[in-house]
Structure 1
Amino acid sequence: MNVNRGDIAGFRLTGRTWIGELGTWSSAASAEGRPASVLRFDPRLITHSATRDRVVAAVVDDRRLVQGGLTGLIPVADLIAAQNEVWLITADPVSPTVTDLLADTPGVPRPDAGSAATVLVETAQTLLAVHAAGLAHGALHPGTVVIAPGGTALLAERGLADALHGRPPAPERDVAAWASLARGLAATWAASSPQAADLLERAAATASTRGLAAARDALLAGRDLLPPGFPARDRLVETTHWWTARETSPQAGHPVAAPAVTARADEGDIVTLLHVPGTSSAPERGGDRTEDVVMRFGPGVPTETPAERIWRTGREQQPTLLPGEQARVARPSAVRRRRTVLSSVILALMVALGVIVWLLRGAATPLAVSEVEVVTPKKTQGCDTTVKIRGVLTTNGEAGEIHYQWRRSDKKAPIEQTDTVAAGETSHEVSLDWTVKGEGSFKGTATLRLLSPVPEGTKLEDKASFTYRCS
């Protein structure tokens, strides 16, 4: 390996570099010419062996998710150490990101509201699968959402920030970040379409109160407010193509020097952190085995690291077993392998089911409301109080939006509101706070009227009253 010449573990650094939160990213190409990316971790973040171990564990979890059928993550090709530096190599490029496409560049077509909704649905689906596996992304933002050449949204840097900072997985942090992403895209890509922008804003609010699944369903249910063809990716593909052509042109003006290292390295200094040790001193790349997290040490490593010592000690302390005992010992390993395969199959089925639900969602029965009921307090309300009035709408259990209005007997102007209803709920509750102050007696009547969805020729509303007395 010679990083000074722009080569690392069989990947050629192709010139473009940019600084990220974790270190320096570089565009790269494999020996076969396939585009890829390389991350040189900031040495200040990964000095301790415990930090390296957490990074290795995060990458191994990532590879298991991908091998289990999850397609929404940027796949990792290798994780290697060269002297005092650690490098992550991805099998696909990590650019352009949403941050790149948000830049208002003259001549580059801008993604539309449908593009924004597509990105949000796909990232929500990926995060749901990651959370179902007991993991989290940890650093979701526009700079870690990559748009692939086909217009698909992929997540980069999953779990790395948490590993570097020693944080436990926090799915709720991912949900908050997704809601922030939705609001940002509503204000940019969807700005020219007020209805679509409002849909994205409501999806953000839904994520914060009901979770990502309900937010995803709200976006799918509101497809009528998006450009025709949703979830088509044509605009994303067009924008990505223009961006890539611009970035790779000779006039782009990006630096071409590879990231500097402290000293020249050769192949013997490589430590690959993801594969099982073998007889060859050259690092193995592209292997599929990730059940065991061990390191491989080539000649020329000046000192024995803790990971090497643990691996060597384990090899030296292996007991001698008779053939019958070897068979008995082998059975637990086989059981573990079967369990790993079973877990991968289950995860793949979950992902496939989510995709099928997404693709077939348009054919689902639309949301319908069959009854409206208003409930007010039976007890007389005392001085200076806020009366809590509830409205209950009975639905058919489908996802969608309801548009309704409250009318108070003391005011002429109605209060109109819109809510998103999640699939599987046959009852949706709305509320009205009515504040009354001063001395005297008062009877207030609240009327709740459904504006949509309402079957043609019908009227759905209800009203109820309360009594206020203060002396």
Structure 2
Amino acid sequence: MNTHRGDIAGFRLAGRTWISELGTWSSAVSAEGRPVSALRFDSRLIARPGARDRVVGAVVADRRLIQGGLAGLVPVADLIGAQDEVWLLTADPVSPTVTDLLAEAPGAPRPDAGSAATVLAETAQTLLAVHSAGLAHGALHPGAVVIAPGGTALLAERGLVDALHGRPPAPERDVASWASLARGLAATWAASSPRAADLFERTAAIASTRGLAAARDALLTGRDLLPPGFPSRDRLVETVHWWTTRETSPPAGPSVPAQAAPARVDEGEIVTLLHVPEATRAPETGGGRTEDVVMRFGPGVPTETTAERIWRAGRDQQPTVLPGERLRTVRPPAVRRRRTVLSSVILALMVVAGLIAWLLRGAAAPLAVSEVEVITPKKVQGCDTTVKIRGVLTTNGEAGEIHYQWKRSDRRAPIEQTDTVAAGETSHEVSLEWTVKGEGTFKGTATLRLLSPVPEGAKIEDRASFTYKCS
């Protein structure tokens, strides 16, 4: 797919981009003029065997949850492929996130302890609903918690990291990540409210020992320790409005002169990777099962065909018969019963075979990290600069997750993050960007500490400093 003209299947890229574990996110505008977002998956991850199909399954599962009434997930508008690229298009923007609001930009209104409690309560409720459906988020962190314009906390990237890496759902990983989020908000947004911060610390401990439902209940029971007005979202709404206004303010001048704008480039055929709902599938010859239909949209195809309208809105409740086929009558009950019995037997055999394969495969060695190293620039940094700090973690080459934190000498609150490490790699690099402005001399020290996996009683961390001078 050629995206130089900034147009992805009707979504216009709006300029802001940021990197996630999945690939590159871009702010965008839908054909109707609404703010949305677009994710271009990392080509190496989506090319892994079965990754694309697993991503499709995760997105379809999300759609079913949302159709069932779950309002805590960022809805997906489409999942498309063109040439070697795969894009996820969301129906709502996936920014700002809690990570964005934690950045403490000059002049920004700061969310309070009540805002933190609102985020924790709503994310806990969404995770409980996801877990009850036999699913998990898989990579919960502040950058995956989106704050909507109305101050509601939504979860983005649900199940996508697990899908790319072929991992089964692990609700216990979500619980540990939620507890980490609670501790992080206790140290930041609730720093000026000691009683609320203590409540968040206690709910984090309850989540780790008694589960997420007990932690949510403890949080709501302790509302007397929160600022008056909880669960009002006024402070969150104010912060999001400030952040959105800053991000969408027009640039100082056009980046490309009008006469130099690139010509429209044919981006090739775009194929939606999502299955069409039951109402728009054609009956398969000879049985009650229906085949999935792949809808294709792209250059040369009308922007709003009947098939596309049905597929997107689900307004037609009658089956669609494809050309060359005719609508079949329903088979008699006896035939359907025989097919059901046969399908059950086949499914049982597949389950037994899968269980035997799992028992015979042996246990893989867990991921281990032996040391970390922090690398900072050697030369003195000049006025108004962003210092790029690298951290290198040495591993045993196994796959797994690492949970770590950056600590800056100019801030009390650490920055916690979680990364996934692929098998076969004996080192993993992380980074920290530190912006320094103003006149004077400053020495900054960055500390990288591994939180897990860490042997009991061990402490794996490293620190390094840089010098800033502006006169």
TM-score by length of 1: 0.59
For the 8 Å contact 2:28–2:35, the answer to whether it is kept is yes
How far apart are 1:250 and its partner, in Å?
3.0
Q: Equivalent residue for 1:44? A: 44
Q: Equivalent residue for 2:65? A: 65
Give the partner amino acid of 2:331: E
Q: Map Cα deviations across residues 111-132 of structure 1 (whole Å, 9 max, x no partner).
A: 0000001100000000000000
Q: Map Cα deviations across residues 134-175 of structure 1 (whole Å, 9 max, x no partner).
A: 000001000000000000000000000000011000000000
- Aligned pairs for 1:23-422 (under 5 A) are 23-250=23-250, 266=266, 268-276=268-276, 295-296=294-295, 323=329, 325=331
Q: Equivalent residue for 2:371? A: none
For the 8 Å contact 1:137–1:159, the answer to whether it is kept is yes
SS in 2 for 1:128: helix
Rate the CA distance shift 1:241–1:144 in 2: closer, same or farther, 3 A: same
Give the partner amino acid of 2:65: L
More helix by share: 1
Whole-Å separation in 2 of the counterparts to 1:67 and 1:98: 26
Whole-Å separation in 2 of the counterparts to 1:75 and 1:241: 21
Give the partner amino acid of 1:180: S
Whole-Å separation in 1 of the counterparts to 2:148 and 2:199: 25
Q: Map Cα deviations across residues 297-321 of structure 1 (whole Å, 9 max, x no partner).
A: 5799xxxxxxxxxxxxxx99x9999
SS in 2 for 1:5: coil
Whole-Å separation in 1 of the counterparts to 2:325 and 2:123: 48
Q: Map Cα deviations across residues 227-256 of structure 1 (whole Å, 9 max, x no partner).
A: 001011000000000011111123599999
Instruction: In structure 1, list runs of 5 or more residues that go unmatched.
Output: 257-263, 281-290, 301-314, 334-471
How far apart are 1:266 and its partner, in Å?
3.7
Rate the CA distance shift 1:212–1:324 in 2: closer, same or farther, 3 A: closer
How many pairs align? 301
Rate the CA distance shift 1:252–1:184 in 2: closer, same or farther, 3 A: farther
* More displaced 10-residue stretch of structure 1: 139-148 or 13-22: 13-22
How far apart are 1:295 and its partner, in Å?
3.2
SS in 2 for 1:325: coil
SS in 2 for 1:87: strand
How far apart are 1:84 and its partner, in Å?
0.2
Whole-Å separation in 2 of the counterparts to 1:251 and 1:321: 56
How far apart are 1:276 and its partner, in Å?
3.3
Give the partner amino acid of 2:111: P
Q: Map Cα deviations across residues 40-85 of structure 1 (whole Å, 9 max, x no partner).
A: 0010101135110000000000000011100000000000001000
Q: Map Cα deviations across residues 166-197 of structure 1 (whole Å, 9 max, x no partner).
A: 10000000000000000000000000011110
Rate the CA distance shift 1:166–1:252 in 2: closer, same or farther, 3 A: farther
Rate the CA distance shift 1:74–1:254 in 2: closer, same or farther, 3 A: farther
Superposition CA RMSD, Å: 3.5
Q: Map Cα deviations across residues 185-226 of structure 1 (whole Å, 9 max, x no partner).
A: 000000001111000000000000011111011111111110
Whole-Å separation in 2 of the counterparts to 1:255 and 1:277: 42
SS in 1 for 2:4: helix
Whole-Å separation in 2 of the counterparts to 1:253 and 1:203: 49
* More displaced 10-residue stretch of structure 1: 3-12 or 204-213: 3-12
Rate the CA distance shift 1:295–1:320 in 2: closer, same or farther, 3 A: closer
Whole-Å separation in 1 of the counterparts to 2:231 and 2:116: 10
How far apart are 1:21 and its partner, in Å?
1.1
For the 8 Å contact 1:206–1:214, the answer to whether it is kept is yes
For the 8 Å contact 1:274–1:294, the answer to whether it is kept is no
For the 8 Å contact 1:274–1:293, the answer to whether it is kept is no
* More displaced 10-residue stretch of structure 1: 324-333 or 212-221: 324-333
Whole-Å separation in 1 of the counterparts to 2:191 and 2:336: 61
Whole-Å separation in 1 of the counterparts to 2:51 and 2:329: 40
TM-score by length of 2: 0.59
How far apart are 1:275 and its partner, in Å?
3.6
Whole-Å separation in 2 of the counterparts to 1:277 and 1:72: 22
Give the partner amino acid of 1:69: G
Whole-Å separation in 2 of the counterparts to 1:20 and 1:196: 31
Instruction: In structure 2, list runs of 5 or more residues that go unmatched.
Output: 257-263, 281-289, 300-320, 340-471
